[in-house]
Amino acid sequence: MRGCDTGKLVLAVAALAVTISADAGRVRSPSDGEPDMIPSGKGWGEIAPPGNAHKRSRMGGGANGILYHGGPLMLGTPTVYYIFYGGWSNNTATTILPDLAQHLGSSPYFNINTTYFDGSNRHVTGAISYGGSMSMGYTHGTALSDNNIQQIVADAIASQLPKDTNAVYFVLTSADVTATSGFCTQYCGWHANGSIAGSDIKYAFVGNPDRCPNACEQQTIGPNGNAGADGMASIIAHELEEAVTDPDLNAWYDRRGQENADKCAWTFGTTMTLPTGATYNVTLGTRNYLIQQNWVNASGGYCAKSYP
């Protein structure tokens, strides 16, 4: 999950209830003798049902503050697909966010994920391909359940997008659409996997932060002139890096159930300021973005904007 940040004091409480409930606030580290937590995909850890806990692998060891639990990673060149749900006409997000996906792969920022590997020592490559987007309108209304979101992905695959098991399908909602399981109050986005058309499909929900700027936007003036889209860029990066390193919620996470991006949610490192007053910390292609840091699984573990 991508919650909300510490940059604003309100966000350290109210938005980290969009992520400290979702990232660390209500999820304290287990003490010795307490059960480890498993990830929810929404940023917070949950105690596993009896007999259903993920076994911890020795691979990864925990020396870097995050553990490998034996599950698969997304290797090779995963594809990103966007499903623009709701009303997006005349919104520059439909240009800004594809530009992000086209330039994120193999960037120094996304190469942080190459520090993650599976039980056969196969590392995430850091490469990403953008497979395109489609618009869907309001086919499931403006208040979406988690099941609705999975069905939107299924509808997209049935109607227009290819079925790809090494892909992440992003359901991106316009500002008049909410997700009823906690958008703006518990999370700003999340990732999951499910059986769609007979295959294990990875997908994510990312809401438009313009719906709740105090909870899901770091700044109200974005570097690309669209605060909602610029806020979504960081949430997309968060969910994508978690999806490639923990696609089925049984690979890389820490004892609190936090995945790699959860450990650095709402931290941005050194930033620069544009004449508009917007801040940014990463340039990808011709655009500037303010994107949260990610957890480097090396040298003891730390948040960073690039690797090596």
Q: For residue range 239-253, list pLDDT tens digits in order.
A: 999 999 999 999 999
Collapsed DSSP state (helix, strand, coil) of residue 40? coil
Is a pLDDT exceeding 90 seen at residue 56? no
Q: Across all residues in the chain, what is the average pLDDT?
A: 88
Angle at 145 between CA 6 and CA 170, to 5 degrees: 65
65 band by pLDDT with thresholds 50, 70 and 90: very high
Residue 44's pLDDT is 86
Of the listed ranges 62-71, 90-99, 188-197, the least confidently predicted one is: 62-71
Burial 213-252 (b: 16+ CB within 10 A, else e): bebbbbbeebbbebbbbbbbbbbbbbbbbbbbbbbbbbbb
73 band by pLDDT with thresholds 50, 70 and 90: very high
Angle at 185 between CA 180 and CA 188, to 5 degrees: 80
Q: Residue 108: which residues within 8 A CB-CB, separation 6 or more?
A: 305, 306, 307
User: Which helix (H) or strand (E) element contains residue 101?
Assistant: helix 93-104
State the Rg of the chain over Cα.
18
